Structure 1
Amino acid sequence: MLHTGLNHERGGDRSPRRPEPRNQHSASVAPKAPPGEAGDLVTVPARLGLEAVDVLRLEQRVGPVLHDRAGDTLGFLVPTGTAEEWELPSSACIAVATRPGHCPSTPPVVGTAWLIPPDEELPEATDPGLLRWALDRAARTIDAMDRCR
């Protein structure tokens, strides 16, 4: 099960904390990809990814998202440099040739299609910290649904 950002101290709140959006002054922020340069792609199993998309949509903070044509995997475009620090179970992060905020209508990865295409209303790649939080919330939701069956 995927868990991140939890307070496990005795009696502490065990709910995930929604991170504040990172800004350019944060030391841990991955730099934005300038137009024409590579971005990164976080891939997750489709069920987890679809739940995370719902969480991010509620926050109105989801960027472009890809899906593989087989329906097994979703990919979130994130800023360049995210792959260097990304370590989260059930996911992978790789560099891809794309332009976050200025992506072409053709997906940057062969064999994929846009689930949420880039457009003028979604100009930014998804914030990696917010994506981690959304994936944690999604994993908890899936776990709770599975226990009810």
Structure 2
Amino acid sequence: MDAIGVIPHSATNSPPNPTGHRWDAIRVPRYIGLAALTHLPAGDFPVLVDPVERAVYFLVPAGETDDWEMPDGRILVVTRHLLVPPIQRNMPPGRYWLAKPQRITRLKLLRKALEQVCSCTPH
């Protein structure tokens, strides 16, 4: 699924984007999200970093997260609105793209990657 067209191209932040229309956002602690990236195949998946909240957001197809339960429910937050930076921003200050949004992350791949990371993360 193509993410282009749903992410602002302007030089400033956009108003909060509602999730659930074209994509949902999964928020995990930054250390878990970055570790999960090592378990994902190479690709241009949209990965948004929030340095203030110490979180990583993955954009996934809308509606696919409704029945998703993780072994450790504390790490998964499905947001309803997300403030996204312009696609050109690839470093702080503020939220930035670790990987430019080219296409939506396949939930099946992300879920497997997060489960692999969480199974070896101390609680």
Q: Select 2:119's aligned residue among 126, 137, 140.
A: 140
In structure 2, runs of 5+ residues without a counterpart are: 7-20
In structure 1, runs of 5+ residues without a counterpart are: 1-30
Residues 65, 114 of structure 1: 8 Å contact kept: yes
- Alignment correspondent of 1:28: none
Aligned residues: 101
Q: Which has the larger strand fraction?
A: 2
Which has more radius of gyration? 1
Residues 64, 125 of structure 1: 8 Å contact kept: yes
Q: Which has the larger helix fraction?
A: 1
Distance 1:55 1:47 in 2: 13
CA RMSD of aligned residues (A): 3.2
- Alignment correspondent of 1:50: 34
Distance 1:35 1:105 in 2: 11
The percentage of aligned residue pairs carrying the same residue is 30
Bigger RCO of structures 1 and 2 (CA < 8 A, at least 6 apart): 2
Q: Select 2:51's aligned residue among 49, 69, 74.
A: 69
Q: Select 1:125's aligned residue among 90, 104, 110.
A: 104
How does the TM-score come out when normalised to structure 2? 0.64
Residues 24, 60 of structure 2: 8 Å contact kept: yes
How does the TM-score come out when normalised to structure 1? 0.54
